[in-house]
Amino acid sequence: MNKKILLVVSLAALLFTGCSNYKRRAYTEIPLAEGEETATVSEFCAFEDFPQDVPFKVLGVVQKKKGVYGATTSLRPAIMDLVRAKGGNAIGNFHENQRLGLWPWNAVRPVASGDAMIILNPRGKSCAEMGGFAL
């Protein structure tokens, strides 16, 4: 009896360790205005929500996690590489947090996730003016 309870508890804990911090948000993509040209962004931007008053397009979901303890900021270069691999220059719905794991070596592990996006034209705005922050 005790082995069955231990097995059920272990499986439940294992399932919860795989849970993501990503929550899908509905975006209303802003297209380029008529006659407006595509321009590049000078810095890689991250947004807790999405860019304000600039045209953008969502490219897909990205997530990076470590199997062992570490700081969430250590995942920023890897998540930027994932976004750039999809052709993006920004990340929206960006979250960094620590997740609990089952095993001692990943009792607390960092996870970062969000939506890869491309800002089509920053219209002369910095990351802070668009509502985000530079990574």
Q: pTM for this one?
A: 0.74
| For range 4-25, the mean pLDDT | 62
Q: How far is CA 75 from CA 31, 55, 109, in A?
A: 30, 27, 11
* Domain CATH number, residue 122: 3.30.110.70
Note down the domain range covering 21.
2-134
Tell me which DSSP letter residue 93 carries.
E
How confident is the model over 21-32, as pLDDT tens digits?
Answer: 556 666 677 778
Closest CA to 118 of 47, 14, 18: 47
Q: How many domains does the chain have?
A: 1
